[in-house]
Structure 1
């Protein structure tokens, strides 16, 4: 890499890491936030849900806006909004103000993540350097989720939950100050307006689906609001497909969704994020409800998982370069599934912590191989003019996976636990969900590898084609 590429990489990776931290930094601080601002126990989940809904629902839209109107501009605007909304959250004195700040943080994340990833993929030509950059990005994104839990516990215990917001402000300010001189962006000549019908249907569909799944995870599938939201989301997403077929300038061109690498690469990403984030949720229940750990101790225990994701991320780019994206996805999925299924043996004594630490480290390595394989596969073989769309799809996949995984695995655990609250009952529910989790990873990675293998053979680096690297004007 050139010196400039290293600086660009540092800026973009630092920003993506901060965004990832925001997903989880408040999780262990939720009781403190609720006590400080007067949230009821039933409404506490909306502190996390408000962020996740806005991020998952609007990512695809912002990814296409980045392609049409400039990724650099959207990235800088998103970072500015993230800094301002974080300051608002830290200064909040009522639940309404805090939830507004979380929605704005989610919107900022929906803008920054695909724009930043598109700037990253267009800064490096398709091949080993891009694989390495995406591997590092994946490692830091996953490490960010874990770091958020640790950092949230430390800041809340040592200072105040408000610092979980304030810590973003100087980082966002530095990114806004440095980005104009460091980042370069292709100027896109737009012949079409934004596909508003497509934007409305896909954004509404994703929001409704995410809301329904979140409600179902908390209230069960008998909740009529949850069922109506899921049905409405499915209807809107089906409508989105028909809208795109008839649109002169579709938000997601049909030709993109016909690409085997895009479809199945994103399927691998959905599996990776849904299973790993829900596993963290299940193990949080185990550590706190079965072993009696505090929130801070729980957060620190997940530091081992973060170390595993960093190792997997550094190995991921090399694995894709040597074995190809398909083999990396399969290998990562098998390793993650094997590590996860070993957790079925967990018991009620503290000695089982050693198994948890070893399994989460190895599983973190496997999960990150799966994530890097997904990201490289899902963004390969596309021109620079469509990288915002490709990375928007990939980012949406990550966020939908995060929203989807926890309610599903929570429902599995609740079905086994029933009304019991004793450690043995909680352990029974957790291990049942862990077993389902491992089977989903294994079956999903096998299916993706099979589907990718049926297409045209990829070359040694795992790419099915080469994207043009346009430094000048791109026409949409």
Structure 2
């Protein structure tokens, strides 16, 4: 890997690190933001939901835009938008300004993230070099989220606005380095007309579905509205499919969505990130509300999960080069199942030594799963569609995060309403991440078994 290629990789890794650390720091700062701006619980939840809506709603469009309009152009343009609106969030004095800033920041991430992944895959040839590059990329992505918890605790102590201003400084540095280093790679797809109907229908579908999933966090509150949103989102998906079948220049080539390996990869991504989101939420409740730990103590307790920052670009890339991404992904999901199972019997007086095995196993899970998911997302996909493939992967991750958080919250609230004590309600909800990770393990295992069967029967078919 030459000096320029190394510099390009550092810039692209910096961008995905920025996205992860931005989300994690905000989660830690939410209570302080509410106290300062006088936000209601609904408004505070909206600060998180606004980002999810922008991210999930425009991700597929962002992935396609990278393929059509150029990966570098989309990367640089939306990095600027991310910078500007992150700064606007830090200057907010009213709740609605913060909500608007987070929504547009989410939209910027939806265009920025798939363009960044497509640039990585296009900048490095398939083989060990690309595997190594994607290992570093995945490690910094997951590490950004883990380290963001600690950074959020430290910055919130200085003032919650620094949680928004710090990404401004980081994104400005990335932008200055990206302009001379990042080059346009690959060929853009030929455009015979913009598929406005497809873009509008899938964006509407993603927005409705994301908002419906977010509302699941409050069971029994506006159930009819939530159901209407989910049904409306499903209907818009059907409209999108009908439009794409008739379009001469479809936004998404439907044949790509019928690839079994791609479907399994995105399903595994949804379940893996969903189970982690639910687990992290429940652990935060346990440590802060049941045990009285501070946000910084909680963040430091979870810091061991960031071991993936070291293992992903070293151990994982070697394992993938030897065994391929799918077997390594299987090991990662098995480690996640172990992590959640070990935490299932949690008690009010657990010492950190009793929690540590779960957190360490989760760090290993991220080390073995996140990178292979990123690699498998574009494996076998034409380079001209890598932006779209990246958009599909991150859409699955974002929906998984929202769904896992909503499901864990719903079970916890339901158990509490049924009269369960705090620790009993927590144990009941802990079954959600365990079930999600176990289901993801089954999905990947079935795919690996079928792939092995094909290899044995007809090696030329692989």
**Hey, what does 1:165 align to over in structure 2?**
164
Provide the secondary structure at the position in 2 that maps to 1:192.
coil
| 2:285 is aligned with 1:289 | no
**Hey, what does 2:421 align to over in structure 1?**
425
CA drift at 1:269 = 0.9
Q: Quick check: 1:309–1:365 contact (8 Å CA) kept in 2?
A: no
**Hey, what does 2:410 align to over in structure 1?**
411
Distance between the aligned counterparts of 2:313 and 2:271, measured in 1?
17
CA drift at 1:368 = 3.3
Distance between the aligned counterparts of 1:347 and 1:269, measured in 2?
30
Provide the secondary structure at the position in 2 that maps to 1:150.
helix
Query: Cα deviation per residue 1:329-365 (whole Å; 9 max; x = unaligned)?
Result: 21111111012101012110142x2222221121221
Evaluate the alpha carbon distance shift between residue 313 and residue 293 of structure 1 in structure 2; reply closer, same or farther with a 3 A threshold.
farther
Task: Note the 1:41-440 alignment, pairs <5 A.
Answer: 41-157=41-157, 159-185=158-184, 186-188=186-188, 190-220=190-220, 223-308=223-308, 310-312=310-312, 314-351=314-351, 353-418=352-417, 425-440=421-436
CA drift at 1:187 = 4.5
Specify which structure has the higher proportion of helix: 2
**Hey, what does 1:442 align to over in structure 2?**
438
Distance between the aligned counterparts of 1:49 and 1:117, measured in 2?
24
CA drift at 1:160 = 0.5
CA drift at 1:252 = 1.6
Q: Quick check: 2:342–2:357 contact (8 Å CA) kept in 1?
A: no
My pick for the range that moved more, 432-441 or 261-270, is 432-441
Distance between the aligned counterparts of 2:181 and 2:168, measured in 1?
20
Provide the secondary structure at the position in 2 that maps to 1:454.
helix
Evaluate the alpha carbon distance shift between residue 312 and residue 344 of structure 1 in structure 2; reply closer, same or farther with a 3 A threshold.
farther
Task: Note the 1:6-17 alignment, pairs <5 A.
Answer: 6-17=6-17
Query: Cα deviation per residue 1:12-43 (whole Å; 9 max; x = unaligned)?
Result: 00111011111221112112111222211232
Evaluate the alpha carbon distance shift between residue 134 and residue 301 of structure 1 in structure 2; reply closer, same or farther with a 3 A threshold.
same
My pick for the range that moved more, 252-261 or 432-441, is 432-441
TM-score (norm 1): 0.91
Distance between the aligned counterparts of 2:316 and 2:233, measured in 1?
34
Provide the secondary structure at the position in 2 that maps to 1:188.
coil
Q: Quick check: 1:212–1:229 contact (8 Å CA) kept in 2?
A: yes
My pick for the range that moved more, 212-221 or 397-406, is 212-221
CA drift at 1:203 = 1.3
Q: Which runs of 5+ in 1 are unaligned?
A: 467-476
CA drift at 1:47 = 0.9
Distance between the aligned counterparts of 2:174 and 2:343, measured in 1?
40
Evaluate the alpha carbon distance shift between residue 171 and residue 367 of structure 1 in structure 2; reply closer, same or farther with a 3 A threshold.
closer
CA drift at 1:189 = 5.3
Q: What is the CA RMSD across the aligned residues, in angstroms?
A: 2.2
Q: Quick check: 2:344–2:430 contact (8 Å CA) kept in 1?
A: yes
Q: Which runs of 5+ in 2 are unaligned?
A: none
Distance between the aligned counterparts of 2:430 and 2:5, measured in 1?
41
Evaluate the alpha carbon distance shift between residue 64 and residue 447 of structure 1 in structure 2; reply closer, same or farther with a 3 A threshold.
same
